[in-house]
Structure 1
Amino acid sequence: MARRSSPGAGAPRGGELLGPAQRLDWLRLIRTENVGPRTFRALINQFGGARAAIEALPTLARRGGRLLPPHIPTVEEAEAEMAALSRMGARLVAMGEADYPAALRSLDDAPPLLCVRGVGAVMRRPMVAIVGARNASAAGRAFTARLARDLAAAGWVVVSGLARGIDACAHEASLESGTVGVFAGGLARPYPPENLGLIEKVAELGAVVSEMPVGWEPRARDFPRRNRIVSGMALGVVVVEAAERSGSLITARLALEQGREVFAVPGSPLDPRAGGTNRLLKQGATLVTTAEDVLAVLSPMAERGPGAMEAEGPPEDEQLVPVSPAEDARTRIVGLLGPAPTFIDDLIRLSGASAAEVQIVLLELELAGRLDRPGTGRVALK
């Protein structure tokens, strides 16, 4: 790949990773149609910077089969979102900056930007997630409150999803030491409405975060996206009560995929709210009856620090000019794809193309809305 100099971008200040112009470019890129966290990272890796990636998007989408270019927010639209965040006392934190949770940076689908409202220092401490049923039992709520207080007293930040039931109990019990709540929608769309008072307290004493645009109304499919951030911020996830096929079990599955520790609180086999947690225990989750059960596993990890999990933020120092794949290589790569997920390594091996050529073709298809990424390292045609 040939190299070219980076276009004018504001210089970082105060130890921040991005300057003002770069932050706007990152925001415009991640808010572009068909660009998610994995695509963002791939574009940065291919082009070396958000500005160059934005310039390349229309051509990439056209090569992928799209007739009209994807919607790219204007500079004015990005500035309006940042202004809206500022008015509510929030800000954008970029991957790699001090207030970006270290554990979250290790995910291949980590949000490049987080909207954060609250105390930055709480984002730098080790976190443990507590999740569970919305229709929690009285016993489940009481145990959650005790567990959260004890973990907070031991120096851990409790992170959860601000939902009814177990989530709310975990936040309330850990308020004084700092807790982090993750939104499924934008920060201007808190949910559920009955937790507005709690959400304000969490923002005042801890932090509330979101990867979504500030005014985004949460949809059903946004909650699993939210759950991956809850588990990704934490070194471990404690499931207190969860029925079979509940959202809390989705969080537990995501935690396992992310290499996090999974804990479960046993419950009565007669209570359907314990069906999921009891199954987690059968599958090898660590049984929890006191905070010590969690601390015994996670404290040594916290003492080692986040270095083993931590990944660097996407590079932004210099821009690269990728070589466009020849048409025969593009045809071979696309021909190997289908609705069944395929490993990218297999595409490279079977197509005879270079890794860079395969990545460019996949970006073209994704920006055209024709590619799905069902899991780490796998792709499929829609």
Structure 2
Amino acid sequence: MNSPPPQAWLNALLVLIEKFQLALLSLWHALGLTGDSHGQPAWPWARRVAGETLLIDLGLARQVGLSLCALVFAVLAITAALAWRRHRGVLLAAGALALVAAPWPSAALLLVPAAPTSFHASPTRFSVDAIALGARVYAQHCASCHGADGRGEGPLAASLAQWPPTLVSPLLARRVDGELFWHVLAGMRDRHGQPTMPAFGNVLGLREAWAVIDYMKALSAGGGAEGNWPVPLRLPEMAIRCADAAPLALSQWRGDQRVRLVAVDGMASLPFEDPRFLTVLVTPDGQPPAQVPRFRAGCAAVSSHAWQAVAAIAGQSPSRLAGTQLLADRGGWLRARGTPGRQWSDADLVCVSGPDAGAQRAPSPATDGLTALLLRMDAEPVRFVKGGFIH
């Protein structure tokens, strides 16, 4: 689904490039050399390093890695030369040779156009409330072109000079959230400068723009309901209440434990607790059950928007959501979707990760499908690269 890099060195390289660019942005902002854009430090340059290109072009990634090694060697050689006068000539020559011999990559391949918001972080935390707000914004401003299901076949799509792209694809994974945010507000143009998507900066507030991106992520997952999700999803943020305790944010409550979301619409459907994960009930009205039978799960999402958000992620209409389950791994990534009346199995794993994601696997020695599923989730942690950035 997310085509993670099979080489550990490539993961490390992408992390290094991301941290370097973020550190450079922080330094420029601290020095007053760049201002703010939509509430966060603005990327001051027209281009950025294309981490997404390195992800698919291993030859270019090797060039970058070797060139960085040569640069580090040259810096160390110069530093040693300054401190060790006796061998200064040899050290300086070695450093210069490393720089000359390095396979410096082409700037045209390494750099891609950037936006002032390229490195902006979404403040919504992918919450159920933001997804619900994004659904309303999408229905009002986006569905006419992109379609209610996000497949780019809205009622106005055929009248456009360029057919809208489908959102139910890896498209969202190839762009960083900050650049999606920029395109929502500033619009998009083709290579001839002709508009292909209108700007909504005068229509939407910042919260609405970030929220519609959250909804597009949920819509992308829901649209891929028959197979693997094209974009990995975080466990959505929501307030959780257990019995009479005060509500807590799910991110505070869960720790590093697995989480199971279960859509229930009555007392008879309350699932049993399971020590292998934390169970969160999602109800239509956002209220936990008044009385919980012994050994049944009783902690519930208290937001009335949780039902709608989970329905969008699961690819179900809200009226048919009851009984659907979503499993998140210890890292907080949604990994599996269960359907009512069916036992868990490997077929329920909708977010496949790891270098062997597409390979055939031998049957698990686990005694039941749920155990096998949990073991596979633990063995294959998500290493999601969005727009070339490790998440």
User: What's the TM-score, normalizing by structure 2?
Assistant: 0.34
- Higher relative contact order by CA 8 Å / sep ≥ 6: 1 or 2? 1
Task: Report the structure, 1 or 2, having the larger helix content.
Answer: 1
Larger Rg: 2
Q: TM-score scaled by structure 1?
A: 0.34
